[in-house]
Amino acid sequence: MITNARQFRITKAQAEKFRQALEEFNDSPSAHAADVHPRLIRAQREAIASQLETLEQEVEEYERLQKSRRRHLDIEQIAELPESLIRARIAAGLSQRDLAERLGLKEQQIQRYEATKYESASLKRVLEIARALTVQAV
């Protein structure tokens, strides 16, 4: 999951590299070589395509969240709460720095919380974050 603008830029760049790699692979003589088993060629192509698809999905989700501006958390299990808080922050148009400022914390603390899916955050802190994001559970 992309959690900030830096990761977004990196992921977009990586997706472009995989897109180019897939094009180059499809155009390369080895993709059509008679001495390479067709299953191996197909496996290589599918591996590149799969990675590209994953990166593109992450980019699309981040862009969709940025545009959505939603104010509610859709969770069915408590285990979904950490990623829902990250999505809510992105949808609110807040950077990790913005959220940290709202809470009187350092940006690095929010980065750590999100990198570890809020494992070290107390319930009190999680509730403060949800309030700072002005989200509602549905």
- What is the identity of the amino acid at 134? T
Position 133 scores a pLDDT of 92
Q: Which of 122, 127, 129, 128 is nearest to 89 (CA)?
A: 129
The verdict on domain 72-137 having CATH code 1.10.357.10 is no
| Per-residue confidence band for 74, with pLDDT thresholds at 50, 70 and 90 | confident
Average pLDDT over residues 126-132: 93
- Pull the structure tokens for residue 135: 């989200």
Task: Tell me the mean pLDDT in the region 39-67.
Answer: 95
What is the maximum span of the chain, computed from C-alpha positions, in angstroms? Answer: 64
pLDDT at 129: 95
DSSP letter string, 18-56 = HHHHHHHHHHSGGGG-TTS-HHHHHHHHHHHHHHHHHHH
- CA torsion angle 98 103 106 107 (round to 10): -30
pLDDT digits (tens, 9 = 90+) for 106-125: 999 999 999 999 999 999 99
Q: Across all residues in the chain, what is the average pLDDT?
A: 91
> In the prediction, which pLDDT does 95 show?
96
